[in-house]
Each structure stands twice: as structure tokens, then as C-alpha cells.
């Protein structure tokens, strides 16, 4: 075992060179923590313009770190940022980028076919020791890995948003993942300064399996309408129609915005359940397209589970391009 400063060393693979495919919020964050812990990072996306934005994201995040760490020495802060950013090179050519890589972490769009196509291409060019990992939130690692001939060197490495702040990494193994690969991924996560937890390849792993149904239930609570016995609900569910007094009807129509406002649901979960963010704030932060993709992936695996039902409101917002903070509007408007 070779163990050295700033590289994750494992039984057969010393992870020094990391290629990250996808320079969005997650890929940029993973690149930042990998570079901050001394790894050489190549960040890949589909265009140079996107990659410029990724580097800006990394610099912005590092500026916040530097401001705290070097509050009385701004020049040392600048140097700190420069050194880390220098460890990140960018490329639009994934095939070339993986050729010197010990680990490939994929953080592209949440779409099985696109992820499979990518890994199938990279599998032919990456060195045989290279470990492949997906940061997918909801897709099966087994399904993604099936597009390659290195299923023993394939696992899930699921980071949390914002990557620089969140301490957890879920390390996911499929029945084909070798113990050496799992150990490599666990060690790599620790070298990044994270706390890894191991999990089998099940829908949503640990955190999203619990968190996303909670977000969807909050959305349903907000969009549902007033009460299950009311006139409005009878329209939605004709089989449950029952005559109701006029006063109740007027009350019901005056409250069609939902069982509770999204603001109150957020406050409720923050002050009542100790969540750092309410479910609507979190959905806007994560991205409504991601939340939609996750719940749809769960539904595909377990169609009868009502926890995984879709939401008309969520679908409408996504269709309108209101994806949350990244587009300036989701459930809330953002500056
Ligand atoms: P994002 O939309 O911010 O970034 C995705 C990036 O991938 C974009 O820059 C896009 O141009 C690029 N891309 C798409 N196809 C590509 C290809 N074939 N080759 C190279 N680049 C490509 O998405 P985000 O939020 O960073 O999510 C990425 C992955 O991470 C998804 O699988 C998501 O489920 C997962 N994830 C997301 C979390 C979140 O809170 N947003 C948390 C944990 C995991």
C-alpha cells in the first residue's frame, strides 16, 4: 500500500488523478474538494463556456473559505485560491481526459441512457486500474455499470450539496463491485475530509430514500386543496363526492391554495423537526428537475408505492423551466 500526503491510497489503486465529468453544481463542488486535498483534477463538460462557469463556481466557493481562513491576510487568501484552482484543468474531451485517470466521477444529467453511453465510451479508453463512480441520486449503479466491462471497478460515490460544506458521502456497492474498489472509494472519501457511509444499490440509497418522499409529501400537502371531504376534492376524486354545507364550501374555496402555505411548511419543518432547510427551500436548492428525476426513478423501480407518486405542481414548474435557485425561480423567486 502506498500512502502519501494528499492522495487516497488503497490496496491496488493510488488515487491521485481524478477526472470529473459534468461541471454543474455537483461536479464543480467535487472538483473543488478533490483539488483542495491535493488531487490533480480534470473537469469535463460539453463546452468551454460551461467550464468557465464551473471554475467561477469553484473560485466563488473558495473565496468564502479564504475569507474565513485568512481574514487578516487577504494576500495569503488569494494564494490559497490560486493554488487550488491550478490543480483543476478543464476539457471538453472526456475520452482523452480519462486516459491518465485513477478515478472517474460522473456528475452529468440524471438520465440512465446518457450515463450508460458515456461510461460505455470511457470504458474502452480508461486504463484498466481506473475506478468508475457515479454521483447519481436515484438511478441504479448496477444499471449504469452494466454498460461497461469493469463492473468490479464500478461503484456509487454520492456527494451532497453543497459538496464543500456537506460532510457525508454515500459509497454504494453493487453485487459485482470488488472489496478493493469499495475500500478505494471509502478511503478516497476520507482523504477528501468526508465521512463515508456504505450502502447497497437500492433506490435513493439512505438519505434520498427518506428525504425525497418527505419533499414530495410537503408538495402534495401544499397543492392538495383543503380537506378530503370537500367539494373541490370531490371534483378531483368524483367517487368520493358527498354533499357539504354552503359555509364549508365557501371556506374550502377560500383555502384552495393548500393545507398549508409553503412558507409555513418550511417553518414547520425547521422549527418543529429541526431541519436546517424546509422542504421547499431544499427542493429549490437541489433543483426541481433533479427532484422530479429522482421521484420518477423511484416510481419506475416500485410503481405501486404511493410515496413515489408524481406531483402536477412539480411537473408544471419543471415544464416552465422554473428549476429553483439555478434558474432564479422555483417554488420561490431567487435573486
Ligand atoms: P447540473 O445540471 O448542475 O450539472 C450537470 C452538468 O453536466 C451540466 O454542466 C451539463 O452541461 C453536464 N453534462 C451533461 N451531459 C454531459 C455529458 N454527456 N458530458 C459532459 N458533461 C455533461 O446537475 P447537478 O445538480 O450537478 O447533478 C449532477 C448529478 O449529480 C446528477 O446525477 C444528480 O442526480 C446528482 N446529484 C445532484 C445533487 C443536487 O443536489 N443537485 C446531489 C447529489 C447528486
pLDDT at 48: 98
- 332 in a structural domain: no
Instruction: Report, in this order, helix, strand and coil percent for the chain, each rounded to 5.
Output: 50, 15, 35
Q: What's the mean pLDDT in 286-309?
A: 93
145 and 239: one domain?
no
Mutate to test the pocket of ligand 1, among 47, 143, 290 (most ligand atoms within 8 A of CB): 290
114 and 253: one domain?
no
159 and 33: one domain?
yes
Q: How many CB atoms lie within 10 A of CB 87?
A: 18
92 Cα nearest atom in ligand 1: 20
Minimum mean pLDDT range among 17-26, 55-64, 89-98, 227-236: 227-236
Residue 3 scores a pLDDT above 80: no
155 and 261: one domain?
no
Which of 106, 110, 170, 281 is the catalytic position? 170
Chosen domain end from 164, 179, 200 = 200
- Read off the pTM: 0.84
Residue 327 scores a pLDDT above 90: yes
pLDDT band, very low/low/confident/very high, at 335 (cuts 50, 70, 90)? confident
Catalytic site includes residue 138: no
pLDDT at 80: 96
- 334 in a structural domain: no
- 288 in a structural domain: yes
Query: In the chain, at which residue ranges do the beta strands (DSSP E only) sit?
Result: 8-9, 14-15, 17-21, 40-44, 88-91, 103-106, 131-134, 154-159, 168-173, 195-200
Count CA within 13 A, CB hemisphere, residue 13: 27
26 Cα nearest atom in ligand 1: 26
176 and 293: one domain?
no
Residues 6+ apart with CB under 8 A from 78: 66
- 333 in a structural domain: no
Catalytic site includes residue 89: no
Residues 6+ apart with CB under 8 A from 309: 216, 220, 299
239-271: pLDDT as tens digits: 333 344 444 334 434 444 567 899 999 999 999
290 Cα nearest atom in ligand 1: 34
- 104 in a structural domain: yes
289 and 307: one domain?
yes
Beta bridge partners of 196: 169
218 and 120: one domain?
no
pLDDT band, very low/low/confident/very high, at 103 (cuts 50, 70, 90)? very high
135-194: pLDDT as tens digits: 999 899 999 999 999 999 999 999 999 999 999 999 999 999 999 999 999 999 999 999
Complex confidence, ipTM: 0.99
Which of 17, 40, 137, 184 is the catalytic position? 137
Domain count across the chain? 2
Chosen domain end from 167, 200, 233 = 200
Instruction: Please list, residue by residue across 217-231, b when 16 or more beta carbons sit within 10 angstroms of its beta carbon and e when fewer do.
Output: bbbbbbbbbbeeebb
- Tell me, using a 6 A CB cutoff, whether residue 324 lines ligand 1: no
Average pLDDT of the chain is 88
Domain region containing 186:
8-200
- 18 in a structural domain: yes
Long-range contacts of 59-62 (CB under 8 A, 24+ apart): 59/85, 61/28, 61/29, 61/32, 61/162, 61/164, 62/32, 62/36
Distance of CA 111 to the CA centre of its chain: 13
68 and 122: one domain?
yes
Measured between alpha carbons, how far is residue 121 from residues 98, 99, 138, 145, 179 in Å?
11, 12, 22, 12, 25
Catalytic site includes residue 170: yes
Residue 37 scores a pLDDT above 80: yes
Mutate to test the pocket of ligand 1, among 107, 118, 134 (most ligand atoms within 8 A of CB): 107
Catalytic site includes residue 281: no
- Phi, psi dihedrals of residue 82, rounded to the nearest 5°: -60, -45
Amino acid at each position: 500500500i502506498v500512502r502519501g500526503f494528499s492522495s487516497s491510497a488503497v490496496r491496488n489503486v493510488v488515487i491521485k488523478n481524478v477526472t470529473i465529468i459534468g461541471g454543474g453544481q455537483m461536479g464543480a463542488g467535487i472538483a473543488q474538494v478533490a483539488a483542495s486535498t491535493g488531487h490533480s483534477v480534470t473537469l469535463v463538460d460539453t463546452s468551454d463556456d460551461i467550464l468557465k462557469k464551473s471554475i467561477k463556481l469553484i473560485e466563488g466557493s473558495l473565496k468564502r473559505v479564504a475569507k474565513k481562513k485568512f481574514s487578516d491576510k487577504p494576500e495569503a487568501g488569494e494564494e490559497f485560491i490560486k493554488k487550488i484552482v491550478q490543480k483543476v484543468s478543464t476539457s471538453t474531451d472526456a475520452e482523452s481526459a480519462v486516459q491518465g485517470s485513477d478515478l472517474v466521477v460522473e456528475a452529468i444529467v440524471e438520465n440512465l441512457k446518457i450515463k450508460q453511453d458515456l461510461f460505455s465510451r470511457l470504458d474502452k479508453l480508461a486504463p484498466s486500474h481506473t475506478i468508475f463512480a457515479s454521483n447519481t441520486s436515484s438511478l441504479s449503479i448496477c444499471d449504469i455499470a452494466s454498460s461497461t466491462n469493469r463492473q468490479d471497478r464500478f461503484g456509487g460515490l454520492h456527494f451532497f450539496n453543497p459538496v464543500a460544506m456537506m460532510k457525508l458521502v454515500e459509497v454504494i456497492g453493487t453485487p459485482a463491485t470488488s472489496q478493493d474498489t469499495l475500500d478505494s472509494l471509502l478511503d478516497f472519501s476520507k482523504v477528501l475530509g468526508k465521512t463515508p457511509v456504505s450502502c447497497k444499490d437500492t433506490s435513493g440509497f439512505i438519505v434520498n430514500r427518506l428525504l425525497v418522499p418527505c419533499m414530495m409529501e410537503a408538495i402534495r400537502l401544499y397543492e392538495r386543496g383543503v380537506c378530503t371531504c370537500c367539494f373541490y376534492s370531490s371534483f378531483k376524486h368524483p367517487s368520493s363526492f358527498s354533499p357539504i354545507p354552503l359555509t364549508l364550501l365557501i371556506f374550502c374555496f377560500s383555502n384552495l391554495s393548500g393545507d398549508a402555505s409553503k412558507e409555513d411548511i418550511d417553518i414547520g419543518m425547521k422549527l418543529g423537526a429541526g431541519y436546517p432547510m424546509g422542504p421547499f427551500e431544499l427542493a429549490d436548492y437541489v433543483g426541481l428537475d433533479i427532484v422530479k428525476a429522482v421521484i420518477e426513478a423511484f416510481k419506475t423501480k416500485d410503481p405501486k408505492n404511493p410515496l413515489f407518486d408524481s406531483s402536477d405542481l412539480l411537473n408544471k414548474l419543471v415544464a416552465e423551466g422554473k428549476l429553483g435557485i439555478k434558474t432564479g425561480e422555483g417554488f420561490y423567486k431567487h435573486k
